[in-house]
Amino acid sequence: MTMRVRVIGAGVAGLTAAYEFARAGCDVELVERREGPGLGCSYLAGGMISPWCEEEGAEPPVIEMGIESLRYWTEIVPVATTQGSLVFAPAHDRTELTRFERLTSERERIGAAAIAALGPYLAGRFDDALYFPREAHLDPRAATDALAERLGAMANVSLRYGVDAANAQGAVDWTVDCRGFDARDKLPQLRGVKGEMLVLYTREVTLSRPIRFIHPRHPVYIVPRGDGRFMIGATMIENEEEGRITARAMLELLGAAYAVHPAFAEAEIIETGAGVRPAFADNLPGLRIEGRIIYVNGLYRHGFLAAPALARRAAAIALEGASVEEAMHAHRGQRQEA
């Protein structure tokens, strides 16, 4: 008999989980209480698929899932662009670049001429940088829309927007709870880490790849979105306040953008936003099981980086009878193969 699965939440966790179960032949119902896909925390993400940069601060499981997901976003749901990424430090903080280099792999230290060759707009701006050629980036809104579109075209999937899970009806074999920070009623150990971002519009700068700018308080980055738009993110604040962006965040994000290129000073601010990243105590994305409910959560700063890999692990539990421990370790070794 066909397995029936209800996925709750159409953020990146829910959409990737629904797709994984649907691809495996299950009957999938996805319920999302908002009116469209990816409108929660996922709507605000930068979309850097940069597992090797993340070695600077994240634990090995995140890097392994990130390498797996890089393949997903470039081959299975190919919405990412592989142009690598660049890391810069302020001129007075070059030792920070050396520290970043020491903690990471799959990168080259490059000088002014190579920086200019990668982007004429960066010519003369920095004497050196780290270049991670294998990394990719995507537009999270385009990625969630693409997944929703694929799911919508599958006969075994029903997408139901504007429906709270509390009102979903009908028996299912498994429920996959992907409610992000809203799942703390069932996962009291979840905490929220506020992230603020903004989007600038300017035709005066052209960038082909994300730039990280080493900053004493936050990992600040600029992600090109095309059509003159640049996402600047993101603060990391241990509180659970959504929506409001502070003057301090705005100053810090704009300051970093301006340090990368002064032309950003003339850009138009076309969007600001603040979301709450769901995180477990160890900051690792994870799975929890309660009866026939699988919780996919704790994606923290790594939603797009980790969700496809986590979805595979969730499917292994329901379809192959794996334990959480087995599922989380089954894909070890991806890193060596990548």
> Which residues form the interface with ligand FAD (CB under 6 A)?
8-14, 31-34, 39-42, 44-48, 164-165, 178-180, 182, 195, 197, 233-234, 275, 277-278, 297, 299-305
Token pair for 97: 């670049």
Q: Which residue sits closest to ligand FAD, CB atoms considered?
A: 11
Token pair for 301: 């700063």
Shortest Å distance, C-beta 307 to ligand FAD: 7
CB neighbourhood size of 259 (10 A):
18
Shortest Å distance, C-beta 31 to ligand FAD: 5
- Choose between 12 and 207: whose C-beta lies nearer to ligand FAD: 12
Shortest Å distance, C-beta 207 to ligand FAD: 15
- Choose between 116 and 250: whose C-beta lies nearer to ligand FAD: 250
Q: Nearest Cα to 151, choosing from 296, 26, 330?
A: 26
In sign, the C-alpha dihedral spanning 167, 168, 171, 172 is: negative
- Choose between 112 and 289: whose C-beta lies nearer to ligand FAD: 289
- Choose between 77 and 112: whose C-beta lies nearer to ligand FAD: 77
- Choose between 10 and 22: whose C-beta lies nearer to ligand FAD: 10
Shortest Å distance, C-beta 98 to ligand FAD: 24
Shortest Å distance, C-beta 223 to ligand FAD: 7
Q: Nearest Cα to 206, choosing from 186, 183, 181, 229?
A: 229
- Choose between 109 and 134: whose C-beta lies nearer to ligand FAD: 134
Shortest Å distance, C-beta 16 to ligand FAD: 8
